[in-house]
């Protein structure tokens, strides 16, 4: 078995500037030229990865298994969006049969 015991409190950050490429308008018309929810989820995922990546065993990656968000307000073009992640206590154990490639 492989055990990952990542230290509580590891922190990660990810940041981007809202532009046409990550705006809701690019994904669907007639959406506004504001930060798209799928891009917010992606930014949050990147912050979580940044929190743990230096502490993972070589050859392993971190993936999201569950996410729940509420996107309350629009962030217009030109604004900066920052996602912060903090690892809560978590011990993950994988048996070789659980690993899929």
User: For residues 82 and 74, what is the distance between their CA atoms, to the nearest angstrom?
Assistant: 14
The C-alpha atoms of residue 53 and residue 59 are separated, in whole angstroms, by 11
3-state secondary structure 65-82: CCCCCCCCCCCECCCEEE
The pLDDT assigned to 3 comes to: 67
Q: What is the per-residue pLDDT across 4-38, written as a single tens digit (0 to 9) for each? A: 768 889 999 999 999 999 999 999 889 999 999 99
Single pTM value for the model:
0.80
The CATH number for 29's domain is 3.10.129.10
Which tokens go with 22?
């990550």
Domain that holds residue 80: 2-98
**Residues 46-59: what's their mean pLDDT?**
89
The domain total for the chain is 1
């Amino acid at each position: 078995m492989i055990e990952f015991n990542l230290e509580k409190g590891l922190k990660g950050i990810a940041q981007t500037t809202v532009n046409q490429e990550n705006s809701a308008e690019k994904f669907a018309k007639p959406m506004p030229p504001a930060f798209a929810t799928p891009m917010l989820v992606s930014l949050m995922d990147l912050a979580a990865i940044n929190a743990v990546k230096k502490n993972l065993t070589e050859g392993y990656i971190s993936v999201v298994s569950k996410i729940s968000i509420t996107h309350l307000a629009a962030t217009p073009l030109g604004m900066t969006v920052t996602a912060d992640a903090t690892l809560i206590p978590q011990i993950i154990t994988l048996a070789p049969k659980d690993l899929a490639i």
